[in-house]
Structure 1
Amino acid sequence: MQEGTFCNLTFIFYFLLVLGSSYARMLQSEVDDKKMIETNKDPSLNVFFTPNDLQLGKRMPIFFPIKNISEIPKPLPKKMADKIPFSVTNLSYLLHFFSISKDSPQAKAMEYTLTQCELEPMEGETKFCATSFESLYRSTRGFFGSGSVKAEATVYPKNFKTELQNYTILEEPIKIWAPRILSCHLMPYPYLVLYCHSQVSDNILYKVILEGENGDRVKSVAICHIDTSEWDSDHVVFRVLNVEPGASSVCHFYPRDNIVFVSDV
Structure 2
Amino acid sequence: MGLRFSVWNLLLSLLFLCAPVLSENLHDSHSIPSHMNHMDPSTMVFFTLKDLKIGETMPIYFRKRDPSAYPQALPREEADSIPFSLKQLPYLLQFFSFSDDSPLAKAMEGTLNHCEVPPIEGETKICATSLESMLDFVHGTFGLETKFRVLSTKFLTKSATIFQNYTILQVPKPMVAPKMVACHIMPYPYAIFYCHSQMTENKLFGVSLGGDNGDRVEAVAVCHIDTSHWSRDHASFRVLGIEPGSSHVCHFFQADNIVYIPAPTYHD
| Deviation of 1:178 (Å) | 1.1
Cα drift, residue 13 of structure 1? 4.5
1:186 corresponds to 2:185: yes
User: What is the distance in 2 between the residues matched to 1:62 and 1:214?
Assistant: 13
Aligned to 1:29: none
Could you list the per-position Cα deviations for residues 180-225 of structure 1 after superposition, in whole angstroms to 9, with x for gaps in the alignment?
1110110011110001111112211111111111222211100111
Residue 183 of structure 1 contacts residue 196 of structure 1 at CA under 8 Å; is this kept in 2? yes
Cα distance in structure 2, aligned partners of 1:139 and 1:21: 30
SS in 1 for 2:154: coil
2:161 match: secondary structure: coil
Whole-angstrom distance in 2 between the partners of 1:236 and 1:255? 16
**Aligned Cα root-mean-square deviation (Å):** 2.5
Paired residue for 2:88? Answer: 90
Counterpart code for 1:163: I
For residue 70 of structure 1, report the CA deviation from its aligned partner.
4.7
* Structure 2 CA distance for partners of 1:69 and 1:149, relative to 1, 3 Å: closer
Determine the C-alpha separation between the residues in 2 that align with 1:141 and 1:99.
Answer: 36
In the TM superposition, what whole-angstrom CA distance separates every residue of 1:14-72 from its partner, at most 9, and x where no partner exists?
532796999xxxxxxxxxxxxxx9931x3222211122211111111112211133531
- Greater mean deviation of Cα atoms: 226-235 or 180-189: 226-235
1:213 matched to which residue of 2?
Answer: 212
Instruction: From the superposition, tell whether residues 195 and 17 of structure 1 become closer, same or farther in structure 2 (CA, over 3 Å).
Output: farther
Shift of 1:82: 0.5
Q: Supply the AA of the counterpart residue of 1:125.
A: E
**Corresponding position of 1:110:** 108
Matched position secondary structure for 1:189:
coil
Q: Aligned to 1:168, what secondary structure does the other structure show?
A: strand
Match of 1:168 in 2: 167
Aligned twin of 1:258: 257
Contact 2:139 2:146 in 1 (8 A): no
Q: Quote the Cα distance in structure 1 between the aligned partners of 2:228 and 2:102.
A: 34
- Distance change in 2, residues 1:211/1:112 (3 Å): same
Q: Does 1:68 align with 2:29?
A: no
- Partner in structure 2 of residue 126 of structure 1: 124
Distance 1:38 1:169 in 2: 22
Report the Cα distance in structure 2 between the residues aligned to 1:169 and 1:219, rounded to whole angstroms. Answer: 10
The CA distance in 2 between the partners of 1:264 and 1:9, in whole Å, is 21
* Secondary structure class of the residue paired with 1:171: coil
Tell me what 2:238 maps to.
239
The amino acid of 2:198's aligned partner reads Q
Q: Which amino acid aligns with 2:227?
A: T
Task: Confirm or deny: 8 A CA contact 2:130 2:191 kept in the other structure.
Answer: yes
Give the TM-score of the pair, scaled to structure 2: 0.82
Give the TM-score normalised by the residue count of structure 1.
0.83
Q: What SS class does the counterpart of residue 184 from structure 2 fall into? A: strand
Deviation at 1:73, TM superposition (A): 1.0
Any conservation in 2 of the 1:38–1:240 contact (CA below 8 Å)? no
C-alpha separation between the residues in 2 aligned to 1:69 and 1:150? 21
Q: Give the unaligned 5+ runs of structure 1.
A: 1-7, 23-36
Instruction: Tell me whether 77-86 or 138-147 shows the greater mean CA deviation.
Output: 138-147
Mapped to 2, the partners of 1:197 and 1:20 lie a distance apart of: 28
Structure-2 change in CA distance of 1:21 and 1:75 (3 Å): farther
Task: Specify whether residues 157 and 238 from structure 1 end up closer, same or farther in structure 2 by C-alpha distance, changes over 3 A only.
Answer: same
Secondary structure (helix, strand or coil) at the match of 1:195 reads: strand
Greater C-alpha radius of gyration: 2
In structure 2, stretches of 5+ residues that fail to align are: 1-6, 23-35
Instruction: Give distance in 2, aligned partners of 1:105 and 1:239.
Output: 26
Q: For residues 53 and 247 of structure 2, what CA distance do their matches in structure 1 show?
A: 17
In the TM superposition, residue 108 of structure 1 has moved relative to its aligned partner by 2.2
